[in-house]
Amino acid sequence: MTEVNIKELLSTYDTENLTIATVCSHSSLQIFNGAKKEGFKTLGISVGEVKKFYDAFPLGKPDEFFAVDNYRDIAKYADELRQKNVIVIPHGSFVEYLGPKNFLNLQVPTFGNRHVLMWESDREKERVWLEGAGITMPKEIKDPRNIEKPVIVKYHGAKGGKGFFIAKTFAEFSKRVKHDKPYTIQEFVMGTRYYLHYFYSPIQDNAYKLTKGSLQLLSMDRRDETTIDEVQRLGSIAELEELGIHPTFVVTGNIPIVMRESLLPQVFRMGEAVVEKSLELFGGIIGPFCLETVVTEDLEFKVFEISARIVAGTNPYVAGSPYSELIQTDLSTGRRIAQEIRYGIKQNQLEEILS
Ligand code: ATP
């Protein structure tokens, strides 16, 4: 549990003069761009040298850089960051670089509910949450001897799909598995992948209404994963596996996508159920989150993962998506976060959206 007392942290803040900060990676260009559009000052936390590529993107470049020797040291600079009235926007790499424990204890106001980390990073708790919300997840195979259909083997904590592999039989599994790391075996769901980008506001009622606040769908993407997504250029997976070449699932980019409109009611029902359950379990998943899904040929959704903060899949939509354009023009997830903070300031409700 985090030992951060948000009320106390905010007590010294000049809320008319906030700075939006994040680590220079992942979705930082979009976060800085969105914050600037909403009139905030921006600060980029970077390790060592300032990253030169920001010069090429003036509208995504933070106003100021804050260099640290090591991301794990960010906590040491908490006082300094607070003096700058910093609100941290966590993204996937931010939590990864800082380490979950440091993140939970970081004494700087952070957008969203940090308690979600425990529910999202532990695959068993994640299942309790999502299945408790009535979401269908891929079946888990506890004993590899029971592998009868294609499965995907996922090592715990292996971010970005690294080391994951597909097996169709127990023999294939035994040949490839590394027993030195804990893993989960999941049914490999056949279908098409959609990564759904939601935004939940506990303080605004102007979208899809929930028991508290409301939900938006800002965009969706499909991840581009090497080598699985292009391996067929060389031959069928079966042919290649015979040669000892196995597909991998390492994310290299994100592709914009839209979904057939008739599936949208299901998309909202899933988002709603996940938020309602989160309110019950740990006070709510606040701000952006992503359900990573496969849609089967029967048009059923199977959710294999939830990401409880801004995902890099929102990056194609710096200038809005086919969905966010129907909310407001030029609305990225980064900008939506900045707007929520603006609204929180105006309504004196920052404590409801920060932790
Ligand atoms: P991240 O934390 O970056 O979301 P991760 O390392 O936790 O990634 P997953 O997102 O669970 O990994 O899986 C990586 C990729 O493997 C997915 O993007 C998807 O292409 C594929 N995948 C995962 N689970 C399944 C499944 N059950 N069926 C089919 N494909 C899957």
Q: CA-to-CA distance for 58 and 166, rounded, in angstroms?
A: 42
pLDDT digits (tens, 9 = 90+) for 232-285: 899 998 899 889 889 999 999 999 999 999 999 999 999 999 999 999 999 999
Tell me if 313 CB under 6 Å of ligand 1: no
Structure-model confidence comparison of residues 253 and 156, the more confident one: 253
Mean pLDDT of 156-181: 88
CA of 192 to the centre of ligand 1 (A): 12
Amino acid at 27: S
Q: Is 154 in the pocket of ligand 1 (CB under 6 A)?
A: yes
CB of residue 160 inside a 6 A radius of ligand 1: yes
How far is the centre of ligand 1, averaged over its atoms, from the C-alpha of 253 (Å)? Answer: 14
Q: What is the pLDDT of residues 30-73, one digit of tens each?
A: 999 999 999 999 999 999 877 899 999 999 999 999 999 999 98
Distance from residue 161's CA to the centre of ligand 1 (Å): 6
Q: How sure is the predictor about 123, in pLDDT bands with cuts at 50, 70 and 90?
A: confident
Q: What is the pTM of this model?
A: 0.96
pLDDT value for 163: 87
Q: What does pLDDT average to over the chain?
A: 95
Residue 296 or 124, more confident: 296
Q: Is the minimum distance from the CB of 156 to ligand 1 under 6 angstroms? A: no
Amino acid identity of residue 354, one-letter, is L
Tell me what percent of the residues of the chain surpass a pLDDT of 90: 88
Residue 1: pLDDT over 70: no
Judged by DSSP in three states, 301 sits in strand
**pLDDT score of 2:** 53
- In three-state secondary structure terms, 267 is helix
Which of 27, 151, 304 best tests ligand 1's pocket when mutated (most atoms within 8 Å of CB)? 304
Q: Is 38 in the pocket of ligand 1 (CB under 6 A)?
A: no
Reply yes or no on whether the pLDDT at 157 is more than 80.
no
For ligand 1, whether the C-beta of 193 sits within 6 Å is yes
d(CA 98, CA 318): 25
Closest protein CA for atom 24 of ligand 1: 304
Q: Is 191 in the pocket of ligand 1 (CB under 6 A)?
A: no
Mean pLDDT of 220-228: 96
CATH of 1-110, one of 1.10.8.60, 3.30.830.10, 3.40.50.20, 1.10.240.10: 3.40.50.20
Give residue limits of the domains in the chain.
Answer: 1-110, 144-189+225-252
What distance in angstroms lies between residue 39's CA and the mean position of ligand 1's atoms? 36
pLDDT for residue 225 is more than 90: yes
Q: Is the pLDDT of residue 16 over 80?
A: yes
Measured CA distances, 116 to 48, 119, 145, 259, 279 (Å): 30, 5, 34, 28, 10
DSSP notation for 185-253: EEE---SEEEEEEEEEESS--SSEE-SSSEEEEEEEEEEEEEETTTGGGTS-HHHHHHTT----EEEEE
pLDDT (mean) for 96-113: 94
Residue 158 CB less than 6 A away from ligand 1? yes
Statement: residue 106 has pLDDT above 80: yes
Q: Is 301 close to ligand 1, i.e. is its CB under 6 Å away?
A: no
Asked whether residue 327 carries a pLDDT value surpassing 60, the answer given is: yes
Confidence check: pLDDT of 89 > 90: yes
Check residue 156 and give its pLDDT. 84
- Does the pLDDT of residue 90 top 90, yes or no? yes
